[in-house]
């Protein structure tokens, strides 16, 4: 079945450092890929997404490129801020006909702490 693997955290960075959170996936065909962010005490919200190979999603200074050849969707930000402290989830959607296949599959999440 489909799966998403993220780098394990927690990740602690100083303000203005470069961020990379690795995400690789296993799925047949061409899934859509997402990064969701969860701030403390809140639900998840979409950060960015890409729906086909070589697409780059971007938002709030974060970027991720859909790499079909390496089945990856790594999240990057050039200069993190304290306000970026949160848990980041990589996810994929792979819809096919048949029962149980219209599901969103999440990675386990990576906790990021940014210190001043």
Interface contacts to another protein, rule CB under 8 A:
32, 36, 42-46, 49, 51, 89, 93, 95, 99-100, 102-109
For residues 23 and 36, the answer to whether their CB atoms sit within 8 Å is no
If the CB atoms of residues 74 and 107 are measured against another protein, the closer one turns out to be 107
Q: Minimum distance between the CB of residue 23 and another protein, rounded to whole angstroms?
A: 12
The angle formed by the CA atoms of residues 35, 37 and 38, to the nearest 5 degrees, is 150
Which residue carries 């210190």 as its tokens?
A: 115
- Among the listed residues 25, 44, 26, 34, the one whose alpha carbon sits nearest the alpha carbon of residue 86: 44
Q: Minimum distance between the CB of residue 30 and another protein, rounded to whole angstroms?
A: 11
If the CB atoms of residues 43 and 116 are measured against another protein, the closer one turns out to be 43
If the CB atoms of residues 42 and 116 are measured against another protein, the closer one turns out to be 42
If the CB atoms of residues 42 and 69 are measured against another protein, the closer one turns out to be 42
The answer for 69, left when phi > 0, alpha when psi is -120 to 50, beta otherwise, is alpha
Q: Minimum distance between the CB of residue 45 and another protein, rounded to whole angstroms?
A: 7
């Amino acid at each position: 079945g489909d799966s998403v693997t993220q780098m394990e955290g927690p990740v602690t960075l100083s303000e203005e450092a470069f961020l990379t959170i690795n995400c690789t996936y296993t799925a047949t065909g061409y899934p859509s890929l997402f990064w969701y962010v969860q701030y403390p005490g809140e639900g998840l919200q979409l950060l960015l997404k890409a729906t086909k190979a070589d697409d780059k999603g971007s938002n709030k200074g974060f970027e991720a490129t859909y790499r079909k050849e390496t089945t990856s969707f790594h999240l990057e930000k050039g200069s993190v801020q304290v306000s970026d402290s949160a848990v980041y989830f990589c996810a994929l959607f792979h819809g096919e006909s048949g029962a149980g296949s219209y599901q969103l599959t999440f990675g386990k999440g990576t906790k990021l702490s940014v210190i001043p």
